[in-house]
Amino acid sequence: MSPESLQSLIVLLIGFAVAGSLATGYQLVTEQPLSFRLLNGGAQLMTLLAIPVLTFAAPFVIMRNIIRGSRIERRRFEFVMLATALAGFWSLMSGTVVVTAFRAFSLLFA
């Protein structure tokens, strides 16, 4: 495995870890699972605060919903694979932002 591939895999895993941590933290505080329905609240403060949380927690929410949907609704394999690829790409991008932010803060405080 090339170093670039290994780095991409680590960033992908960091993205999923951050997504899971945010979703679990939200559920711990509010006692309800994180959902995209938070964006339906109109122009309220809670809706605006939900945007950054959902931006980084979306891969977890997508995977949770697709796994539940595949069990309950018997969704087709192609749909599940497409959602998994979307969640993986989203996780890779959000993981890149997190890693870049950590690098920037380490340079700032070094």
What are the residue boundaries of the structural domains of the chain, listed by start?
Answer: 3-108
Confidence bin at 110 (pLDDT 50/70/90): low
Task: Give the end-to-end CA distance of the chain in Å, rounded to a whole number.
Answer: 32
| Of 12 and 42, more confident | 12
**pLDDT at residue 80, rounded to an integer:** 87
Give pTM, 2 decimals.
0.85
**pLDDT for 45-101, tens place per residue?**
888 888 899 999 999 999 999 988 888 888 788 888 999 999 999 999 999 999 999
**pLDDT at residue 28, rounded to an integer:** 95
Class of residue 50 by CB neighbours under 10 A (exposed 0-12, middle 13-18, buried 19+): buried
